Amino acid sequence: MAGSDEVNRNECKTAVPIHTWVLISNFKLAYNMLRRADGTFDRDLAEYLDRRVPPDARAQEGVSSFDHVIDPSVGLEVRIYRAAANNAAGAGAGAAAVTLPILDFLTGAPSPDPFPVILFFHGGSFAHSSSSTAIYDNLCRRFVKLSKGVVLSVNYRRAPEHRYPCAYDDGWAALKWAMSQPFLRSGEGAQPRVFLSGDSSGGNIAHHVAVRAADAGIRICGNILLNAMFGGTERTDSERRLDGKYFVTLQDRDWYWKAYLPEDADRDHPACNPFGPNGRRLRGLPFTKSLIIVSGLDLTCDRQLAYAEGLREDGHHVKLVYREKATIGFYLLPNTDHYHEVMEEISDFLGANLL
């Protein structure tokens, strides 16, 4: 069980830089205001409190962005990030195809030089945030700089208004759209070189979209999961030990799963517990390689470690990066060694698997 709020706050402050503590504590305060005991959610207040930034076609530290609707029937859009034109000279050939004006870019032919396309799913426990939330806008810009490629941040539908499988359906629709676009193809054979990535609920979405891709014979270059959100009915050691100590409580997590899963489901539903008693093993499936980033002070870290081990048991390639003293959200601000070393791991993974 969680200890006293005062003890937990003091312990948390010693583990994270003050800017990170303030950022995530403010999110937690807002999240607590938005969840209701009856399972409903104050969406109007959530939209008001969410710190968002508009797309910017101008160069912001070498990256430009714009929003693009890909499925009007459900209002599904992606925010597209690319290396800005004034950064092309130093970016190298890999970014050359992504420095054109927007209309020319969207209607362009494949690039002869290979570049990665990162399909990113933001976090927020299926209920919060969006593709325009400031912290995720910053992270996606960082990914462009790391990859010299294109990032598509998916503005998927959120719970509890849109339960399972809406987020997965939107992720799948975004992947199929990306795979069909000539301007996102590159290199020998004009292939789409797509990676899936996400944090928290976004990491969960990336996994389930990757499974659908493997079932459909669609080749994914790799999965990059940051503190992916998984669960189950039986509590793990880390859930009991870290409950309430570093920003998150089990009560929080349980609320979000109840808001997202089918109304008659428990936390052993395959969406929550993919390798659990009701889940599906992936042995023999052409599942993509995975880079799995785990924070040792995330109460669900045991879930993420078990997920990585499950993939390995089923014969799949896993690179596990375990940061023992990191908390949730450490990758959102460049103020720790955890951040910089994990960004290097992501850059290396992208480069090694850009086939």
Backbone torsions φ then ψ of 117, nearest 5 degrees: -115, 120
Tokens of 269: 């539903």
Closest CA to 117 of 195, 181, 210: 195
**HEC string of the chain?**
CCCCHHHHHHHHHHHCCHHHHHHHHHHHHHHHHHECCCCCECHHHHHHHCCECCCCCCCECCEEEEEEEEECCCCEEEEEEEECHHHHHHHCHHHHHHCCCHHHHHCCCCECCCCCEEEEECCCCCCCCCCCEHHHHHHHHHHHHHHCCEEEEECCCCCCCCCCCHHHHHHHHHHHHHHHCHHHEECCCCEECEEEEEECHHHHHHHHHHHHHHHHCCCCCEEEEECCCCCCCCCCHHHHHHCCCCCCCHHHHHHHHHHHCCCCCCCCCCCCCCCCCCCCCCCCCCCCCEEEEEECCCCCHHHHHHHHHHHHHCCCCEEEEEECCCCCCHHHCCCCHHHHHHHHHHHHHHHHCCC
Q: Is 131 a catalytic residue?
A: no
Rounded Cα–Cα distance for residues 215 and 8 (Å): 44
Rounded Cα–Cα distance for residues 156 and 133 (Å): 13
The answer to whether 79 and 155 are in contact (CB under 8 A) is yes
Catalytic member of 64, 129, 186, 200: 200
Q: Is 56 exposed, middle or buried (0-12, 13-18, 19+ CB in 10 A)?
A: middle
Residues serving a catalytic function are: 200
